[in-house]
């Protein structure tokens, strides 16, 4: 039951960011969130994994607070050279809560 609550939470967060969710099975989903540039990618990624105000009283009664919080951050550094754009994407993931 907690896995389905977690998947429902992911679906809700994706839709808030104008994303699409496709259920592949009861335990698996595919999330697509559109973005136009690197800054928007970073913003949407961090909002998806760190939503503000996500915990409501309904979530607490459903037991969503028992799920571990995984800290993750995405950052992007872009450099422009004449006809080239260099992108450096960094992803930090902290799995200590597992």
Higher pLDDT, 95 or 98: 95
Q: What is the pLDDT of residue 19?
A: 93
Q: If we measure between CA atoms, which residue out of 31, 30, 5 comes closest to residue 18?
A: 31
pLDDT in tens, 71-91: 888 899 989 888 888 989 898
Q: What is the pLDDT of residue 29?
A: 87
> pTM here?
0.67
pLDDT in tens, 18-76: 999 998 887 788 999 999 988 899 999 889 888 776 554 445 444 444 556 778 888 99
Q: What is the pLDDT of residue 18?
A: 93
Handedness of CA 31, 15, 90, 98 (dihedral sign): negative
Q: What is the pLDDT of residue 60?
A: 46
Cα-flanking dihedrals φ and ψ of residue 77, to 5°?
A: -120, 120
Q: What is the Cα–Cα distance from 11 to 50, expressed in whole angstroms?
A: 14
């Amino acid at each position: 039951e907690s896995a389905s609550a977690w998947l429902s939470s992911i679906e809700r967060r994706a839709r808030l960011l104008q994303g699409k969710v496709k259920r592949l099975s009861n335990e698996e989903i595919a999330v697509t969130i559109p973005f136009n540039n690197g800054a928007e990618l970073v913003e949407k990624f961090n909002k998806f994994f760190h939503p503000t105000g996500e915990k409501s009283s309904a979530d607490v009664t459903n037991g969503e607070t028992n799920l571990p919080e995984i800290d993750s951050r995405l950052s992007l550094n872009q450099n422009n050279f004449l006809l080239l754009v260099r992108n450096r994407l960094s992803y930090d993931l902290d799995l200590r809560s597992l």
